[in-house]
A and B are shown apart, each in its own frame.
Chain A
Amino acid sequence: NAGVMQNPRHLVRRRGQEARLRCSPMKGHSHVYWYRQLPEEGLKFMVYLQKENIIDESGMPKERFSAEFPKEGPSILRIQQVVRGDSAAYFCASSRDSPEAFFGQGTRLTVV
């Protein structure tokens, strides 16, 4: 049973480009969460999605960031017109209707 799969593991973008981060939840998991970890800090909640629905986006920056979890395929976190401050590790977690959430290995975004 494969775990939560995130790709790419490392992503380098120039300022102004778009970054697309993908997350495939564990089999049977219908809940997806995205977190951001700035250097030397803890993880910060960004958004919680179920299939085709955004449930809680209280941690998402108001501009340039969007997330989706379509009926088919992985969840996508999209960052438009990236800036240096977007450099961070982005983690995805998934769960069933149960307390335990499983994390992916993260995508390290570097904006140059």
Chain B
Amino acid sequence: AQKITQTQPGMFVQEKEAVTLDCTYDTSDQSYGLFWYKQPSSGEMIFLIYQGSYDEQNATEGRYSLNFQKARKSANLVISASQLGDSAMYFCAMRDESFSGGYNKLIFGAGTRLAVHP
């Protein structure tokens, strides 16, 4: 069975500094995808970044990068130059990609609450 573990219930960071949010996963699948979502206090789920298990390079999207270490089964999110608007819950998620087409069943971690201080 697939499992996502986020061991940091809460993190804080000073504005303009970088922060790393931890995520480890467990799966026996050979083909899988890893996602990070942001959930601000308003409640919506905002897609941030995606990494496929066969992607050789770490994914990057603007200030977000995913530090993918396959052997260690970790997929940490790095946010550079933190902004006050980054304060939110952050969820790591995984999808089994052995299915074809649009099978997007996601397994989520418990989340990390990030607070950015001025």
Contact = CB atoms under 8 A, between A and B. Distances in A.
Interface of A: 30-31, 33, 35, 41-45, 48, 55-56, 89, 91, 93, 95-106, 108
Interface residues of B, number: 26
Interface in B65-118: 91, 93, 95, 97, 100-111
B50 interface: yes
B62 interface: no
Contact of A43 (B33, B97, B100, B106): B106
A33 B105 contact: yes
A103 B104 CA distance: 11
A11 to B, nearest CB: 14
A100 B110 CA distance: 21
A89 B97 contact: no
Contacts of B111: 41-42
A75 to B, nearest CB: 14
Interface in B17-42: 33, 37, 42
Interface of B: 4, 33, 37, 42-45, 47, 50, 52, 91, 93, 95, 97, 100-111
Contacts of A33: 104-106
A48 B47 CA distance: 19
Q: Which A-B residue pairs are the 9 nearest by beta carbons? A: A42-B108, A103-B45, A101-B104, A31-B102, A97-B101, A95-B102, A97-B102, A105-B44, A43-B108
A48 B91 CA distance: 20
Nearest to A95: B102
Given A42-B4, A93-B104, A106-B44, 7 more contacts: A35-B106, A43-B45, A44-B108, A97-B100, A97-B102, A100-B47, A105-B44
Contacts of B102: 30-31, 95-98, 101
A33 to B, nearest CB: 6
Given A100-B47, A103-B44, A103-B45, A31 B104 contact: yes
Nearest to A101: B104
A98 B50 CA distance: 13
